[in-house]
Each structure stands twice: as C-alpha cells, then as structure tokens.
C-alpha cells in the first residue's frame, strides 16, 4: 500500500513569490491534515479536512495561506506571497474514519520550503 505522497520534496523561492504544495493521501483515508514544522520544533496543525470540508482551519494564516481539497482526495496548500519566515517543512498526514477509538495519522515525507 502506498503511503502519503507529497510533492515537491524541496522548493526554493524568493520572497513575495507564490508557492504550492501537493498531497495525495493513502487511498480510502477521508481525513487529511496539513502541518507546519519549523526548524527545531514539533509539527503544528494548519488545517484538517473531513472529505472536502475544512473542519479545523483555526491555525491557518488566512491572509496569505489557502488550501483546498476539491474532490475529497488530494489536497493543495498555497502561500501567496511567501515571506522569509515561511521557510519550514510542510507535512501532510491522513487517517481513516472507521469510528474507532483513535484513527492513526500517517505522515508523508514533507516539503521543505526555503524562502530567500
């Protein structure tokens, strides 16, 4: 079974440029998460989707960040315009929703963004 796929793995851009990250979750997983991981820190949740609905986007900086999951499968996270402080690793995770006590989140390898 393929894991969570993210692309690109690495991205270098100049500040004020736009950038987009793509995530394809594990097949059948209807919950998708985007996390931000700054250097030397643990991941922080940006947004969580249940199918195509964003059910928790309270930590997403909406002035420059946007996300979509139009068909409830793959997702795109966008930053426009990028700032120096956006340099970080952007992680995508997915989980099933089988009504269990806890549904494990499976993480992708992340996209490392460097803003110059």
Partner 1 sequence: AQSVTQLDSQVPVFEEAPVELRCNYSSSVSVYLFWYVQYPNQGLQLLLKYLSGSTLVKGINGFEAEFNKSQTSFHLRKPSVHISDTAEYFCAVTLPSNAGGTSYGKLTFGQGTILTVHP
| Cis before 81? omega within 30 | yes
Question: What is each CA distance from 81 to 17, 39, 115, in whole angstroms?
Answer: 5, 21, 11
Of 82 and 111, the one with the shorter C-beta distance to partner 1 is 111
| CB of 9 vs partner 1, minimal distance in Å | 8
| CB of 97 vs partner 1, minimal distance in Å | 9
Of 81 and 107, the one with the shorter C-beta distance to partner 1 is 107
Q: Would you call 31 helix, strand, or coil by DSSP?
A: strand
| CB of 23 vs partner 1, minimal distance in Å | 11
């Amino acid at each position: 079974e393929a894991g969570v796929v993210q692309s690109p793995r690495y991205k270098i851009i100049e500040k004020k440029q736009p950038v987009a990250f793509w995530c394809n979750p594990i097949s059948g997983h209807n919950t998708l998460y985007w996390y931000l991981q700054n250097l030397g820190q643990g991941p922080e949740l940006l947004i969580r989707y249940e199918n195509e609905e964003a059910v928790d986007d309270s930590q997403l900086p909406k002035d420059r960040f946007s996300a979509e999951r139009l068909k409830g499968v793959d997702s795109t996270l966008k930053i426009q315009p990028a700032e120096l402080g956006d340099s970080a690793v952007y992680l995508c995770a997915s989980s099933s929703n089988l009504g269990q006590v806890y549904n494990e989140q499976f993480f992708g390898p992340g996209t490392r963004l460097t803003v110059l």
